[in-house]
Structure 1
């Protein structure tokens, strides 16, 4: 309950909630663009229906993402003003370009796509969604460019008068090796997220009683399942591959982060064993777990030999490097339990998504399409709607907490970035307000998504009321009055 702790909690809360919707909107935009493009070339009306239907979920995610993003940006001035002063010259350029170029592109063409279904040729209308998708991807690049500087500073110099960083070479910032290893992983995870949400919601659609009695709805949701399963499988494979490439960079650039994801306090042997699970005591700096021989060497170096430095050794190296600037009291150990389990949950999500996608494809194969009858599998697929959000959150925690104790790696600590004017009462109040606001926004998102799903691809926007309910009785009386009016006329 101090200023630093409350500021960190607020930023974590707002960023995690915002990051629910950023990958979702990117992935859904790509899926909808592909659906509409297939319609343009194949003239199959069901793909047009799919693009329009799943486009509604995309619009909801985009709207919520914009709102939560605005809230997040307020914090740079409110809670992290020292950080903003220190890094404003670097941070400002990518964010300005993101707002003026990428977000502008995204916002303009999402409006054009929404309101011009019957005003342009199908190919031109599909192009609007591709441009919207491009804008969202460009937004991700510019945001990650700023974040990558915090992980691996490049293209800067120190202003001797202020002690702040100053942009020296814009292209070095944009060419940051951290950026081009982080971006593919984020992009493919976004593709996986959008596809898994469509896959899971389509499975719930097949479970709905209305779908069971409607052949057209069953065909629609089955087609959506098959399409999204293909995209999710591709996204899962590419996410795992891109994650491996990013890990190879982290091994050398941020060894403390990598050692924490494996709960290695002491240097490993050669070859290195990988811990499947581990009991970690952060106070005593010990860990004990179930190990698989050779596996860590394979994951780290792609060979059966090679040792990995432990956190104790890395801590000594960091003290030798930074004690002259930051003092001997610095704690360079990261939150090991969080990173260890976040990494495993993130990896498990990728493999689970691939497995679920294969099962969905098997259940919808042409010669034996039985998925809509297999309720237990539909429930599993439906629950997996939420898997990517767990994986994305785990990845974010690894990226940000693995940088501890730095805001800007090796240059600015988290404690030094807090606003000097922030107070405990104001932070406690805003934390509470934001938490309640996010609960409301999340509930609205889920409610409207559920409404869209249950109205079906040919629905009128209303969720059928239960018999005997007040809504059902009112609608019945309204129907009777309307019939009497027609008779009198």
Structure 2
């Protein structure tokens, strides 16, 4: 394998690994804030117990997300130094905004939330977790602004003298149509993940307690968490569907090759169907591909809103791209502008398919908890455990489709203009980092991430099976039952978990 293949493999592996933790943090922070808000407003102790329980899981996930995210920054300057040289003037701005306006706020207020349970008044302490929740989502906005610019460059010009893209309109970068389609889809997917996480764990505990004869505790503590998770899943599921539909239509305009590759559509057709299965050679040759179990016109509808609209095939798009861009390989032959059809076709379907796991849990959990009921059905407990993984897998396959479907571009051309602001992936890799260096770091990261995965799982498992505490006391200074220690101001902050 050459340095390009290894660099792509390393970036893909580390990015997908990091993104496992991202949607849970984005979605769970607001849910923990909602739980604490209900406690502050109602004074019901069970919501304080739920806040502490899910807050502990949030902190574990947040910590490993930060650790794995740092690696991404280093890869830009090392394995992908040519890419960074080309886009650094544009790409660096939203990343700097993410650090200054979002991550620093997020980490600062998270520290106040962790250590401030017995130091801050309840409403001030509540404000800190809401600051964390808002800044977490703001962080996602700036990261997506950078990624969306790679999908659809705007607000930049090509400087022929320096050979770089240079930003001339930060407003255009932050109002990019691709960004405002991707952001709602990513955020609603994160809420779907967090809702599934809360409902899945709470449903498993509910079943366990009912079967152990502790029906009152199951009804009083865990059923409200199940209901909250189910409501979030229903709302987020609708949001994912609507925003995904908008993204698909925009993708058809901006990256038609990606949309056609999602269906492995080799030839241009009117009213393109959506297939559940394709057999044959899903390589770039596109020979002998047969679609089985089709929904007539659905792909055309997803792309344009018209069930009979024509959709260009990848072979016709290949010819158009050859005429427009004219890149050739070392032998002088036109390069392939088609992504790997097998990956794009199946990642698109796996994204949708795994998303149905959350839908199944939402429907069954709603049914067994209706009208104040609780359930001890082992099937619900098993479904809760299985469904926990499905939104994480759906999000991961969604990112695989988004990034692999853009190939061979690392900065995809804007079909409506911005001449020259595009970059092939093969031109973005470093010219001085050797294959051996990349392979060594890839092996090191694989081993390190494997160790981190073990620690993450053991910590999440340990605190999940401990369950919600039997009681929690309000330690805030505005609780009249607390005696104020005159020496409290001199004591160091204590970790509340």
Same fold by TM (over 0.5)?
Answer: yes
Task: Describe the SS at the equivalent of 2:291.
Answer: strand
Which structure 2 residue ranges, 5 or more long, are not aligned? 414-421, 472-497
8 Å Cα contact 2:284-2:339 kept in structure 1 = no
Q: CA–CA distance in 2 between the matches of 1:9 and 1:20?
A: 17
Alpha-carbon distance, 1:201 to partner: 2.1
Tell me what 1:173 maps to. 173
Tell me what 1:483 maps to. none
Residue 207 to residue 424, structure 1, CA distance change in 2 (3 Å): farther
Tell me what 1:352 maps to. 357
Tell me what 1:301 maps to. 304
8 Å Cα contact 1:202-1:222 kept in structure 2 = yes
Tell me what 1:6 maps to. 6
Tell me what 2:290 maps to. 288
Q: 1:355-413 CA distances to partner (integer Å, 9 max, x unpaired)?
A: 3202101111225x242x10112101211100011111111011111110111113111
Q: CA–CA distance in 1 between the matches of 2:38 and 2:395?
A: 29
Q: CA–CA distance in 2 between the matches of 1:255 and 1:27?
A: 31
Tell me what 1:47 maps to. 47
Q: CA–CA distance in 2 between the matches of 1:104 and 1:434?
A: 26
Task: Describe the SS at the equivalent of 1:57.
Answer: helix
Q: Identify which range, 302-311 or 407-416, moves more after superposition.
A: 302-311
Tell me what 2:90 maps to. 90
Among candidates 422, 444, 467, match of residue 455 of structure 2:
444
RMSD, aligned α-carbons:
1.9
Task: Describe the SS at the equivalent of 1:119.
Answer: coil
Q: 1:411-470 CA distances to partner (integer Å, 9 max, x unpaired)?
A: 11111111112112211111111111111111111111111111121179xxxxxxxxxx
- Is 2:441 aligned against 1:430? yes
Q: 1:118-137 CA distances to partner (integer Å, 9 max, x unpaired)?
A: 33333322211111011111
Q: CA–CA distance in 1 between the matches of 2:2 and 2:213?
A: 58
Tell me what 1:155 maps to. 155
8 Å Cα contact 2:209-2:215 kept in structure 1 = no
- More helix by percentage: 1
Residue 300 to residue 430, structure 1, CA distance change in 2 (3 Å): same
Q: Runs (4+) of structure 1 moved beyond 4 Å?
A: 207-211, 213-217, 324-328
Tell me what 1:227 maps to. 228
Alpha-carbon distance, 1:43 to partner: 2.3
Task: Describe the SS at the equivalent of 1:276.
Answer: strand
Tell me what 1:417 maps to. 428
Alpha-carbon distance, 1:215 to partner: 5.0
Alpha-carbon distance, 1:307 to partner: 1.8
Q: CA–CA distance in 1 between the matches of 2:216 and 2:116?
A: 26
Tell me what 2:323 maps to. 320
Tell me what 2:18 maps to. 18
Q: Which structure ranks higher in relative contact order (CA pairs < 8 Å, sequence separation ≥ 6)?
A: 2
Q: 1:224-264 CA distances to partner (integer Å, 9 max, x unpaired)?
A: 22211111121111111111111110011100000011110
TM-score normalized by the length of structure 1: 0.89
8 Å Cα contact 1:81-1:417 kept in structure 2 = yes
Q: CA–CA distance in 2 between the matches of 1:71 and 1:212?
A: 45
8 Å Cα contact 1:265-1:311 kept in structure 2 = yes
Q: CA–CA distance in 2 between the matches of 1:181 and 1:33?
A: 26
8 Å Cα contact 1:144-1:179 kept in structure 2 = yes
Residue 128 to residue 333, structure 1, CA distance change in 2 (3 Å): same
Aligned residues: 457
TM-score normalized by the length of structure 2: 0.88
Q: CA–CA distance in 2 between the matches of 1:91 and 1:311?
A: 29
**What aligned pairs does 1:177-192 form with structure 2 within 5 A after superposition?**
177-192=177-192
- Is 2:56 aligned against 1:56? yes
Residue 47 to residue 280, structure 1, CA distance change in 2 (3 Å): farther
Tell me what 2:275 maps to. 275
Q: CA–CA distance in 1 between the matches of 2:118 and 2:363?
A: 37
Tell me what 1:73 maps to. 73
Q: CA–CA distance in 2 between the matches of 1:216 and 1:439?
A: 40
Q: CA–CA distance in 1 between the matches of 2:354 and 2:149?
A: 28
